[in-house]
Structures are given as structure tokens and as C-alpha cells.
């Protein structure tokens, strides 16, 4: 809710618009030219093919790795790596993918994750910059600055939102 997915989509749209010579919705923008843009956003399952959400996440990453291996300059946007599996597998898979992707020096990767635990292992890598959106919590109310801050957020707000929306109360009354 703080704006991670919106930011990633906005960057992709702005880069695309700039590359085709259109105006971008920003007061200013500096960017390099990319050979292409790859988006791993809004991955879905495919019941008809018997493909799970996680399987399709893996296929999208596989396709991404195949494309970026060509030495061209890609902008790669990934929103929430491996949310289709359990937390332990998601962390292991995410670390493996990120450590592999940083070997590609010709491309720029922007990705989001809720798995802040992987940041401890990745913080020592000089080519990774960590940013988060600030969330303020006051008496069960949330507010968002929509401003990027340096570092890794360790906020856990899911249960707070569940309570705020009275779902916990409703469940207790069942």
C-alpha cells in the first residue's frame, strides 16, 4: 500500500514513453538508452495449462535470464519475487536470482520484495541500493509519505491492516 508496485510500473511507463519520444509525467527525467524493457509484474497462474503461480514466476525469470544474456542493455522490472511459494523457498530462490542478476553489468534491475530478511546477506554487495517507502503507524492507523527512503523497511503491517478492517473482529464472532 505504500507504493512499491506503483513506483515500478511508473518507472517502466516513463522509460518506455521517453524511448518513443513522448513526454513523461515528471518534472524532470535523466536516463540512459536501453535496448529493451522486461517486466515481471502481474504474473498469474494458468489453470488450463496446469501451471501454478510459482511455476509461472520461475518461467518469467527463466525468460528474463535468457534475454539479458545477450549483452544488450535492458531495464528489468520485477515486482515481488516468488510470492507464489513458502517464505523459506522464496528467500532461497530470491537470493539465488538476485546474486545471479547482479553479474549482468549491462542492465539495470529494479525489484521489490517483502522479504526484508534477504537484505542482510545482500547489503554487503556494492552494486545493490536498498530503498523503501516510509509508513507511519499511529493507534492502528496507517499513513504513507510516498517518499523513497534509504535502507530496508522491516515493517510488518499485514495483521494491523487485517485488524483495522475489522476482519479479526468478524472472525472472532463466527
* Average pLDDT per block of 10 residues along the chain, 174 residues long: 86 94 91 93 81 87 95 94 90 95 95 89 91 82 84 84 90 95
**Helix, coil or strand: residue 66:** helix
The model carries a pTM of 0.86
Sign of the CA dihedral with 67 first, then 70, 74, and 78 last: positive
Q: Which CATH class is domain 4-128?
A: alpha beta
Q: Which of 103, 98, 134, 136 is nearest to 119 (CA)?
A: 98
Q: Where are the domains of the chain?
A: 4-128, 130-174
> How far is it, in rounded angstroms, from Cα 86 to Cα 29?
38
In the DSSP assignment, the letter for residue 83 is: T
Contacts of 65 (CB under 8 A, 6+ apart): 100, 101
Amino acid at each position: 500500500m505504500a507504493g512499491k508496485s506503483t513506483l515500478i510500473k511508473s518507472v517502466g511507463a516513463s522509460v518506455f514513453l521517453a524511448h518513443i519520444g513522448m513526454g513523461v509525467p515528471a518534472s524532470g527525467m535523466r536516463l540512459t538508452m536501453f535496448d529493451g524493457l522486461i517486466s515481471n509484474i502481474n504474473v498469474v497462474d494458468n489453470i488450463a495449462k496446469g501451471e501454478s503461480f510459482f511455476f509461472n514466476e520461475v518461467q518469467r525469470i527463466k525468460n528474463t535470464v535468457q534475454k539479458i544474456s545477450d549483452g544488450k542493455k535492458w531495464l528489468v522490472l520485477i515486482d515481488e519475487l516468488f510470492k507464489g511459494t513458502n517464505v523459506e523457498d522464496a528467500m532461497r530462490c530470491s537470493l539465488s536470482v538476485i546474486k545471479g542478476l547482479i553479474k549482468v553489468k549491462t542492465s539495470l534491475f529494479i525489484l521489490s520484495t517483502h522479504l526484508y530478511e534477504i537484505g542482510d546477506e545482500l547489503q554487503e554487495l556494492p552494486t545493490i541500493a536498498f530503498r523503501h517507502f516510509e509508513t507511519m503507524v499511529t493507534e492502528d492507523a496507517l499513513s504513507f509519505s510516498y517518499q523513497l527512503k534509504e535502507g530496508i523497511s522491516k515493517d510488518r503491517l499485514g495483521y494491523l491492516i487485517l485488524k483495522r478492517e475489522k476482519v479479526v473482529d468478524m472472525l472472532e464472532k463466527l
